[in-house]
Amino acid sequence: NTTLGVETVAHALAHDPHGRVCLYGPPGTGKTALAAHLARQLGRPLLLRRASDLLSAWVGETEARISAMFRQAEREEAVLCLDEADSFLRDRRQARSSWEVTQVNELLTQLEDFRGLFVASTNLIDQLDAAALRRFDFKLRFDWLRPVQAMQLFLHYAEVFALSPDVAPDSLLSRLAAMSRLAPGDFAAQRRRLAALRGNGRHSDLLGALAQEVALKPGGNVGGMGFTA
């Protein structure tokens, strides 16, 4: 559920596979999955890096790792995806230490020279440096699933894992609609559980599991935890 159609962005990049894309929104909404999708569409490998891959306690080491990340992406002609990009692109006006500023400066400098496709994903768009945001060609907000999307994904999982339909379709849609803050990641989190139930699970089993996932999120109302057929 994005502010700009995924295929619109993919089509634009197919004609010119160079640029900078910022994906922002809540966890589990598909940001990293889109980066992988874009790489497949372009026929390129995906080079995924997270904050934990780059951050170092040694002075200058983080900057060196940032530089090496861009050089590797160039050598491999890979789509470079930096997850948790807010760790390196925080507003420099809020910096408390000089190394926080140098890390932002290093990433922006490398980004200026990079001729490939760079994808940054973040859950904290409001903390990003304004100068960094201006450098992105596309900024896509990822939001929670719309009820119809949730229904489509639910039926897909129900088919894949052979769940028995014990909830009326109208009731199923209304119950999914009542789950605010439902994301694709919540469905993906159920894969192992559903695999164990394959052939013996029911629609209500998946509904209950999704309700529990949503209830753990701040503001994740589910309109009641009980489900009946």
CA–CA distance, 30 with 2 (Å, rounded to integer): 10
**Cβ–Cβ under 8 Å, residues 121 and 84:** yes
Q: Is the pLDDT of residue 109 over 70?
A: yes
d(CA 145, CA 151): 9
Task: Give CA separation, 123 vs 87, 106, 174, in Å.
Answer: 11, 21, 28
Confidence of residue 100 (pLDDT cuts 50, 70, 90): low
Residue 98 confidence (pLDDT): 57
pLDDT digits (tens, 9 = 90+) for 6-48: 888 888 888 888 899 999 999 999 999 999 999 999 999 999 9
User: Distance between CA 70 and CA 58 in Å, rounded?
Assistant: 20
Span 85-101, average pLDDT? 66
pLDDT in tens, 153-200: 999 999 999 999 999 999 999 999 999 899 999 999 999 889 888 888
Average pLDDT, the chain: 87
